[in-house]
Amino acid sequence: MAEQSGAEVLARAFAEAGVARIFGVPGGGSSLDLIAAAKREGIGFVLARHEFAAGVMASVTAELSGTPGIALCTRGPGVGNAANAMANAALERSPLVLVADGFAPAERGFATHQYFDHAAMMAPVAKETVALDTMPAGMAAHRALATALAAPCGAALIEMSAEAARAPAAAMPRFARPMPSVADTAALAAARSLLGRAKRPVAILGLELLDPDAALAARALVAALGCPALVTYKGKGAVPDADPLFAGIFTGGAAEAPVLDQADAILLLGADPVEFIPKPWRWGVPLLDCGTAPRPLHYRQPDAACYGALAPMLRALAEGLAPSAWTPAEIARFRETWKRVLANPGGGHNARGLGPQRVVEIAQAACRRAGADPRLAVDAGAHMFPATTYWEASRPGDLLISNGLATMGFALPAGIAAALHDPARGAMAFIGDGGLLMQLGEVATAATLGVKLVTVVLNDAGLSLIDIKKGGRDLPDRTLDWPRVDFAAAARAMGAAGFTAGSEAALDAALAEALALPGPSVIDVAVDPSGYPAQIKALRG
């Protein structure tokens, strides 16, 4: 095969893996060589304002497209900034490959400026680290891609110095995606036996059901049993909120306990333990774990387990199942109780703004009136509880969230990626003022790209979730809050539309105008945080 440069071999492998665009903040080394080589392969480049945002955009693109996400950065500080994105990909089980500018062997003899051991820094969160200076480019690319895509998906690091990017490199055979394993026949038989004995099973659907085919198979299994279905945050939409079998969201907390306390078996369908809050597993009934690959189950070992390609596995388990003893009326009561205990309408006479729940409800109603169907990206913070509870999803990937890592600053770059992935649907982001302050520069990214993204800032001028956790501690002034920021003005300064809403009518009007725009907008909504403590207590106990 004809020789190419190292950067060209990487770009060709990425194209063969189905990559449509690379996200990043380039430096002066190998980054520019890779961007140029990628362009020749038909792969676009998106310039982010921060490496963390680039990594999140790549990860969300991977989750929505099923292809690996690619991000790039410069050496030293670029890698440092990207570390949180790599941790996010690791804990969200998202296939992300970060290509970092590296140091050639000759440089390592004298380099101190910007130098630290990139691979050592990323070791806790990267499934694989490879370097083109010690491994052929094609082999490095294939190994990183295959490792990131292998179940459970995760992050990989490729280091490529400027010297390696330009050096001749042998081409490789076409990249082939690793084939998923098939569930063991004996494991399937054990799972069917457990299901056959269960009279009141409850299913928990999780992040691996972002795959639409697997989600359909999980729905069919739940329908065959006629049992309550709980979803994790990332599993939301695997069973639609409007489905009569939908019973609420599972986190491992208190709000979902009423239904699980009556279960005689619990089925984990594509649900990863990384999605659950760190509390002891409280149910002693038989547990069936169905996933793409084994993973450490720190709460308890399953009584039966099936690992491999989820869609055929779940279809096989659904064949010939007898309906459970649950009635539709029981499941409806569980669902209604779950929503009622998590209610956070706000709006008392001393309220400092709108109730967060009402912000979510008004936003979804405005979308429906406008005929809009945006994906929703939700940031970490107290506002995520009303957002995940009251935003109704009907398909996998309707709601995007950092759940395993739960990092602030996720929603804005996630919304940009979702809008780029599906311009017709566009996206909406719910983000707190703290999270947006961390990633405010990405409003300029959205404006430059012209993406159809409505960012709703739930602005309470502080870290409300952390404020709840402070207990009786006497902290210095301004430890957990700050002067209110005018995000609408900031958005306009960066080329996006900006709106301010202090009432339900003003929010409704701003949403109508924002949803009609072809490009990005920011709606700064003053919210009342007073209802959060009761909501979080109801959720987590």
HEC per residue, 42-55? CCEEEECCCHHHHH
pLDDT of amino acid 157: 98
Cβ neighbours for 429, distance < 8 A, ≥ 6 positions apart: 376, 377, 378, 379, 411, 412, 414, 415, 453, 454, 455, 456
Cα distances from 215 to residues 114, 198, 493, in angstroms, run: 45, 22, 42
pLDDT of amino acid 428: 98
pLDDT band at 478 (very low <50, low <70, confident <90, very high): low
pLDDT of amino acid 408: 96
Question: Are the C-beta atoms of 148 and 134 separated by less than 8 Å?
Answer: no
pLDDT of amino acid 476: 79
Alpha helices (H) in 391-503, listed in sequence order:
411-421, 433-438, 441-449, 464-469, 487-493
pLDDT of amino acid 499: 98
Tens digits of per-residue pLDDT, 496-526?
Answer: 999 999 999 999 999 999 999 999 999 999 9
User: In the predicted model, what is the mean pLDDT of residues 71-89?
Assistant: 97
User: In the predicted model, what is the mean pLDDT of residues 120-133?
Assistant: 96
pLDDT of amino acid 87: 98
pLDDT of amino acid 105: 77
Judge if 3-170 and 342-540 fold alike in CATH terms.
yes
CA angle 369-347-510, nearest 5°? 35
What φ, ψ does residue 27 adopt, rounded to 5°? -105, -165
Higher-confidence residue: 277 or 286?
286
User: In the predicted model, what is the mean pLDDT of residues 286-307?
Assistant: 91
Question: Are the C-beta atoms of 380 and 408 separated by less than 8 Å?
Answer: yes
Task: Locate 176 and state its tokens.
Answer: 């082939």
pLDDT of amino acid 528: 85
User: In the predicted model, what is the mean pLDDT of residues 41-68?
Assistant: 98
Question: Are the C-beta atoms of 420 and 61 separated by less than 8 Å?
Answer: yes
Closest by Cα among 211, 157, 213, 148 to 175? 148
pLDDT band at 407 (very low <50, low <70, confident <90, very high): very high
All structural domains of the chain with their residue ranges = 3-170, 185-335, 342-540
What dotted CATH number matches 3-170?
3.40.50.970
Residue 254 pLDDT exceeds 90: no
Tens digits of per-residue pLDDT, 167-223?
Answer: 999 989 999 998 888 999 999 999 999 999 999 999 999 999 999 999 999 999 999
Residue 40 pLDDT exceeds 70: yes
The owner of tokens 């500018």 is 101
pLDDT of amino acid 429: 98
User: In the predicted model, what is the mean pLDDT of residues 13-30?
Assistant: 96
pLDDT band at 2 (very low <50, low <70, confident <90, very high): low
Lowest mean pLDDT among 308-322, 466-480, 504-518: 466-480
Residue 110 pLDDT exceeds 70: no
User: In the predicted model, what is the mean pLDDT of residues 332-361?
Assistant: 83
Average predicted confidence (pLDDT) for the chain: 93
pLDDT band at 296 (very low <50, low <70, confident <90, very high): confident
Higher-confidence residue: 492 or 350?
492
Question: Are the C-beta atoms of 57 and 419 separated by less than 8 Å?
Answer: no
pLDDT of amino acid 468: 60
Lowest mean pLDDT among 49-53, 168-172, 469-473: 469-473
User: In the predicted model, what is the mean pLDDT of residues 422-436?
Assistant: 97
User: In the predicted model, what is the mean pLDDT of residues 151-155?
Assistant: 96
pLDDT of amino acid 483: 75
Kindly indicate whether the domain formed by 185-335 is annotated with CATH number 3.40.50.1220. yes
pLDDT of amino acid 475: 72
Distance, CA of 313 to CA of 290 (rounded, Å): 8
342-540: which CATH number, 3.40.50.970, 3.90.79.10, 3.90.105.20, 2.30.110.10?
3.40.50.970
Residues in the chain, total: 541
User: In the predicted model, what is the mean pLDDT of residues 104-118?
Assistant: 76
Closest by Cα among 496, 522, 527 to 511? 522
pLDDT band at 347 (very low <50, low <70, confident <90, very high): low
Residue 349 pLDDT exceeds 60: no
Question: Are the C-beta atoms of 96 and 148 separated by less than 8 Å?
Answer: yes
Distance, CA of 223 to CA of 318 (rounded, Å): 9
Distance, CA of 455 to CA of 457 (rounded, Å): 6
Distance, CA of 277 to CA of 373 (rounded, Å): 30
Lowest mean pLDDT among 166-170, 253-257, 333-337, 523-527: 253-257
pLDDT of amino acid 481: 67
Render 82-121 in DSSP notation, one character per residue: HHHHHHHHHHHT--EEEEEE---TTGGGT--TT---HHHH
pTM of the model: 0.94
